Structure 1
């Protein structure tokens, strides 16, 4: 009967302390991992010794909220801008020159499109609107 009593006793494994320890280790790992900074020593290659191309083929058109148009140091009137710009455009290579339009945010869409259309009609193909974003 003693032998039978030994086999009836089922051992129970108490895993609560093990789970507690694992949760503490997991919490420590989760807290410390974001603060670890990995640093690799990287030697970047040297760039070419060529000179950076100066962007002379760029034209900037600025329009204020009163519809005054500025190109370099010259001021143009909104109503006669297409004619004035056609005269100015003769000085530039229209295929290679980029035109950037900076317009005040209070201008109507129609006013900005009018300037854009005038520049396109003058023969420029690289025309962009500049935003603050």
Structure 2
């Protein structure tokens, strides 16, 4: 016959209570570790840093408007140009820093071949940023 209060003939000795002692021990150990390491984390080396003033450069990226009319006429910022002048202006614009964005306004009736020629001239001249401008109202 067993003298333990947890065991009896009818029960198999299953504990119904959680033993909190190991949990409390772990929490106390963690608390001690944090108390010991906290002063080490707050130690810093005092350094006399140099002082400098700087202003952010607010440069807005420039853009160039190139228009292609239905007849195939190309305009550089509303000034009509031929293919040779277009190539010269693209080369000079590509040398600027930061490089400007080429905004391409093409008439809906212009041949795709002409648009491709203008894009090729821009790429061969060194411009890498090309954007297409559309009219959202015309789609309705």
Q: Which runs of 5+ in 1 are unaligned?
A: 1-49
CA distance in structure 2 between the partners assigned to 1:91 and 1:132 by the alignment: 29
1:116 correspondence with 2:119 = yes
TM-score (ref. length: structure 2): 0.48
CA distance in structure 2 between the partners assigned to 1:124 and 1:95 by the alignment: 11
* 2:66/2:78 contact within 8 Å kept: no
| Structure 1 residues 127 and 54, CA gap change in structure 2 (3 angstroms) | same
Which segments of structure 1 move beyond 2 Å, counting only runs of 4 or more?
Answer: 52-55, 89-92
How many residues are paired up? 79
Q: Which runs of 5+ in 2 are unaligned?
A: 1-55
* 1:65/1:104 contact within 8 Å kept: yes
Structure exhibiting the larger radius of gyration computed from Cα positions: 2
* 2:66/2:104 contact within 8 Å kept: yes
* 2:68/2:106 contact within 8 Å kept: yes
CA distance in structure 2 between the partners assigned to 1:87 and 1:124 by the alignment: 12
| Structure 1 residues 90 and 122, CA gap change in structure 2 (3 angstroms) | closer
